[in-house]
A and B are shown apart, each in its own frame.
Chain A
């Protein structure tokens, strides 16, 4: 018998929900930014941070955030504060970052208040101060900010700021849970599974875990797996339990690419550009011939076929060579796959810096999903690695010109 894995998710410091820039012409935006318009400066910075239509670069994003922040733009202060705390963009100064978070929060936006609370809770640029964190979270929670309600719920649930107060935790979880907030669902599920201050209710717990798992939360998948393994609130189902554990390992954001790959069912899917004709394995010889005479699309297709169904480790090496050749000719989808191989360390040295560089370059004109993939893979990287990759990508672009 396996004891249910007690797992409570922690609030992570995020960059706040990113307000996507309006489809504004980049040149117009740049002109306005250079003319000193704070909101334009902020929009440009946002695009640089995410790599939306421009080459992603934290250092350049930080410059524009600072310009806007200096003009009092509170969103820019919040974003710059986050960069200074994490070290992304090259400058690490948690104290200055904390001050910026504080200034941003003063303008009263709930998610900025929440970010500041997180800084107090985790001691980012300031000593840990749970009472300050609770005050701020209460403010944001009262305003209806779901993340704050959940985080405050966790504090009462675990008693990290004083005594455990399950009824309050439940009250705080319930609102976000009804809106489908996965952490709220999972944590509520744990309370019923353990019978913490309530009557133990396995069926209800299983139901809540199921909802959270459906929303992609890996902890909920593990918890639900344990329910199936032990037959708590559901019929015992070893197969389903195994499937859920596997799924959890795959979708865990913190899991290294390596661990995901080591997990049998978690084979990487290589990216394909839907604008191209599908690669036909029957045509492999034709592609290879064209690839050898230097056709970048054929090089990509050959690499894709090799990497998708490798027979030996040598196939990965060859795939990497073909992707590299097509990447050098500027084919974004080849860059993306070369980046993936760098992350996996298949056929090439595992090197997140190189991988991030290629995914950044690919994102500029690449197929959909590259940015999401890049950010998921970046979870295992240090700020220094990402900054180095930004520098390499920029150098590559200026060499290419």
Chain B
């Protein structure tokens, strides 16, 4: 988290970005007149020297010089030290230290630390934020009419952390903060009007507050307007207005907006194509670490869109995005390592990135891993359940080696794989459908007590698809599936029962009973 605040270096003003809850709002704190009796300390620096260091922007010296005073119980020094720790001045952000000294100052009745301390509690990275204490502090600040406290506490009531969730109270507090021109609160109020959250839904009010927040330069509001104008939701569809707002967000330095505009310009999506400017914006967002921009830049290099085609550069950018866990980049990069485009062929790297893709539920990566397993490049036996799934997916995508692997393993005693093969041949996944073969495989899977196969086989036997029509066998399998909890089995069985004689049903029930009695 970046705690570099826009400081007013000549006074102890507090300004901290709080995770997800608040936008910066300048709230300079006037240093109080020291009324405490002069502390009895032997300090390395006098307070005058500390203040001189601070004014001279030698924050490290000021931070060090404050410590003895703070330790001796000087509440002003405690506040100032906590402030510097919270704002990463003269040293790194120190959450625990900031909490310690701000709490100490407040305990002594120092009047100005509560809001700052609440922000520190809410910052909570990597520690878990202490919502309860933050809410306590904010309650008293709300009584003191602090607009930012209204905004923060309203946010807590909205998400129900540190206090019992209460949309009505949340709306009340945020509305006050919005009235005091805090754009994050205005954006929140817009959302609440739009969703009818804590207030009766009112699209006109939602729009009014959204525009106010966006006009005040709040990027989320500007992006929201961009999306609304693009989709025509809440507003008449208006691409031009949409891009005006997007551009404003970009000008405000919003990295997501920069990527979105860059991508649109690159291919001319909703706006006249300007590949050069598109690339420039994408590069800016990519350099700032935005994974979507990195991936799109990779695409630009891979396809030669707006830049000279360059596989090596493509790989570099895809890699940056994939390393941040972006699934679609991992899909492509894995393929690059597999085929040696822009990189040396490296199956271990390919596997590494396909696994990132897999963790993002990518079907492409899953299927590729299955291919590698079927080809013996990855040991399937180390993770057998996963291998069955992945190789089956590769087989469904038409990979012949994968299909052979699945069949071999099925015949070696894995009836579930017969079920997968049955589906492949029944539905024609990656090949021409072959219903007879499908029925044969499903029969083997059903015999192996695979419930889904029993259901399917019952259906084929009922309609006589790929196998001779046989109501008794169909009833048997539906009944068995039903007994194992299949709703479809119940329905199928009861439909069949209406087409069957009592003798046929009796025979089917007997076969089912005998099957269930098998070990």
Contacts and interface: CB of A to CB of B under 8 A. Distances in A.
Q: Say what secondary structure dominates the interface of chain A.
A: helix
A349 B480 contact: yes
A384 B491 contact: no
Interface string A350-380: 1111000000000000000000000000001
B483 A261 contact: no
A314 interface: yes
B8 interface: no
Nearest to A349: B483
Given A256-B498, A345-B490, A349-B516, A381 B506 contact: yes
Contacts of A256: 494, 497-498, 505
Contacts of A262: 491, 494-495
B280 to A, nearest CB: 56
B485 interface: yes
A349 B502 contact: no
A398 B86 CA distance: 83
Q: Say what secondary structure dominates the interface of chain B.
A: helix
B455 to A, nearest CB: 13
Interface of A: 256, 258-259, 261-262, 313-314, 317, 345-353, 380-382, 384-385
B503 to A, nearest CB: 5
Q: Most A CB atoms within 10 A — which of B486, B487, B509?
A: B509
Contact of B498 (A259, A314, A317, A345): A259
B516 A346 contact: no
Contacts, number: 65
B483 A350 contact: yes
A380 B494 contact: no
Interface in B351-383: none
B505 A352 contact: yes
Nearest to A262: B494
Q: Most B CB atoms within 10 A — which of A346, A349, A380?
A: A349
B513 A346 contact: no
B150 interface: no
Q: Most B CB atoms within 10 A — which of A259, A351, A381?
A: A351
Contacts of B494: 256, 258-259, 261-262
Contacts of B490: 258, 313, 345-346
A152 B219 CA distance: 90
A352 B495 CA distance: 17
A345 B491 contact: no
Contacts of B512: 349-351
A378 B486 CA distance: 25
Contacts of B491: 262
Contacts of B482: 345-346, 349-350
Contacts of B498: 256, 258-259
B432 to A, nearest CB: 36
Q: Most A CB atoms within 10 A — which of B479, B493, B505?
A: B505
Contacts of B502: 380-382, 385
Given A258-B494, A346-B490, A381-B502, A351 B513 contact: yes
B479 A345 contact: yes
Contacts of A385: 502, 506, 509
Q: Most A CB atoms within 10 A — which of B483, B487, B493, B516?
A: B483
A259 B497 contact: yes
Nearest to A263: B494
Given A259-B494, A351-B513, A313 B506 contact: no
B506 A384 contact: yes
Q: Most B CB atoms within 10 A — which of A345, A353, A381, A385?
A: A345
Contacts of B485: 313-314, 317
B483 to A, nearest CB: 4
A299 B401 CA distance: 54
Given A345-B479, A346-B490, 17 more contacts: A256-B494, A259-B498, A313-B490, A346-B482, A349-B480, A350-B509, A350-B512, A351-B513, A352-B506, A353-B509, A380-B502, A380-B505, A381-B502, A382-B503, A382-B506, A384-B506, A385-B502
B483 A345 contact: yes
A257 B10 CA distance: 87
Contacts of A352: 505-506, 509
Nearest to A316: B485
A346 B494 CA distance: 11
Interface string B123-157: 00000000000000000000000000000000000
A349 B497 contact: no
B479 to A, nearest CB: 5
Given A259-B498, A317-B485, A345-B483, A350 B493 contact: yes
A160 to B, nearest CB: 23
Contacts of A349: 479-480, 482-483, 509, 512-513, 516
B32 to A, nearest CB: 59
